[in-house]
């Protein structure tokens, strides 16, 4: 197929989303290399993302570009090529989130440099959606989220709390300082363990490098903020059984996760290859099946619009601090992370993805559960 025909095909698809090539709107795109059209048609979202990294195209407002694209569901019209189909096949045949691969996947994202995350995130280094109610800054919004999570768990002094996927210790430190609880945090990232231990020094907090499947202790509360996206559909039931076994009979479990509007067994191929290998977004149905017979769902809170604001804030920090980072990361890395952050912002803005905080009990709360907002 010649370039003109390919350009016509891509233009027709983009026009359905109100996007023009060489247009004047902020969400329109400029194409610098005509090979872009072949990559877009042949490789779909994977090719479009790779072409962006190579600077074959750009948009003045990448998040608005993706908002338009996702709102019109244009990405669903692009045929899956053999490379993408191969990745889907692998996800269905193999357990891409096994214990061994969990550590390997963690290294590829969370171990690329604490300096990057220190400059991109808020002062507490919270790498999950902030809660922007009554907040004007990222720091305030992230403290709001941590406090809301603690209130939903109904923490009391002296309680034992398990934090699955503890990151750099932001929740553990906050809960120990503000609510006087004892926290055990686990992560598969060595870099996170090292920094989390420093941040939580002197507090009743223990940070461990371990996979959730190796947990054996009992806790009064369990929290997991932004880790379930790495569990994988083959392991959802196993994960819930582990949490059930770790939680005392009268305990509460708070699950904070990005959610998919449809059940799926694979993630966006570009995200999977360049940002979060092995990641996967659960649906309501998949979570429901995983908890059946194990938990009572007490509360389901969706504040996905807040993730749009969070991602834009992370992008702004990343861009503003690039001069301090560029000696360790090249220009392709800059374009990769800009694309990642703004694509995800557009996805939440278009309501393609959700952000859920779900509270579970083992046997139901006597008299009912009153959820704070």
Residue of 246, 139, 140 lying closest to 186 (CA atoms): 246
Find all residues with CB under 8 Å of 131, minimum gap 6, and list them: 141, 142, 144, 145, 148, 303, 306
DSSP assignment of 65-123 equals HHHHHHHTTGGGGSPP-HHHHHHHHHHHHS-TTSHHHHHHHHHHHHTS-HHHHHHHS-T
Nearest by Cα to 298 from 230, 234, 371: 371
DSSP string, 118-149: HHHS-TT---S----TT-SSHHHHHHHHHHHH
Half-sphere exposure in the Cβ direction for 101 (13 Å, CA)? 14
Residue with tokens 């990222």: 138
Structure tokens at 165: 């996927």
Question: Nearest to residue 49, comparing CAs of 354, 308, 347, 263?
Answer: 347
Strands (E), the chain: 30-31, 57-58, 160-164, 182-187, 205-209, 219-225, 247-260, 296-302, 353-361
Under 8 Å between Cβ of 145 and 126: yes
Phi, psi of 129 (to 5 degrees): -60, 130
Query: How far, in Å, CA of 132 to CA of 152, rounded?
Result: 17
Give first-to-last CA distance, the chain, whole Å.
Answer: 55
Backbone angles phi and psi of 55, in degrees to 5: 65, 35
> Residue 150 catalytic?
no
- Distance CA(331)–CA(58), nearest Å, equals 14
In the numeric block, which tokens belong to residue 135? 């907040």
* Catalytic sites, residue numbers: 344
């Amino acid at each position: 197929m010649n370039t003109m025909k390919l350009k016509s095909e891509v233009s027709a698809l983009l026009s359905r989303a109100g996007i023009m090539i060489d247009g004047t709107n902020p969400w329109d795109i400029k194409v610098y290399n005509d090979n872009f059209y072949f990559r877009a048609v042949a490789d779909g979202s994977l090719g479009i993302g790779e072409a962006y990294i190579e600077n074959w195209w750009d948009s003045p407002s990448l998040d608005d570009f993706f908002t338009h694209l996702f709102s019109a569901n244009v990405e669903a019209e692009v045929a899956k090529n053999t490379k993408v189909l191969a990745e889907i096949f692998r996800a269905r045949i193999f357990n891409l989130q096994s214990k061994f691969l969990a550590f390997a996947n963690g290294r590829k994202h969370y171990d690329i440099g604490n300096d990057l995350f220190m400059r991109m995130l808020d002062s507490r280094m919270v790498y999950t959606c902030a809660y922007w109610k009554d907040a004007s800054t990222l720091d305030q919004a992230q403290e709001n989220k941590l406090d809301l999570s603690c209130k939903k768990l109904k923490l009391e002094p002296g309680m034992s709390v398990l934090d699955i996927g503890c990151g750099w210790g932001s929740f553990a430190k906050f809960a120990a300082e503000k609510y006087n609880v004892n926290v055990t945090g686990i992560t598969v990232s060595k870099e996170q363990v090292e920094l989390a231990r420093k941040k939580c020094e002197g507090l009743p907090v223990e940070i461990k490098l371990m996979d959730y499947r190796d947990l054996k202790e009992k806790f009064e509360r369990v929290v997991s903020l932004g880790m379930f996206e790495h569990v994988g559909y083959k392991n959802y039931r196993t994960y819930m059984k582990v949490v059930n076994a770790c939680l005392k009979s009268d305990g509460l479990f708070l699950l904070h996760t990005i959610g998919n509007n449809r059940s799926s067994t694979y993630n966006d191929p570009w995200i999977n290859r360049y940002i979060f290998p092995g990641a996967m977004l659960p649906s309501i149905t998949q979570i429901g099946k995983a908890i059946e017979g194990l938990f009572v769902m007490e509360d389901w809170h969706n504040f996905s619009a807040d993730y749009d604001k969070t991602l834009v804030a992370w992008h702004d920090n990343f861009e503003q601090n690039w001069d301090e980072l560029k000696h360790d990361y090249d220009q392709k890395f800059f374009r990769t992370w800009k694309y990642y952050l703004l694509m995800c912002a557009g996805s939440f803005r278009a309501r393609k993805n959700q952000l859920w905080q779900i509270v579970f009990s083992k046997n139901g709360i006597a008299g009912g559960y009153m959820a704070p907002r």
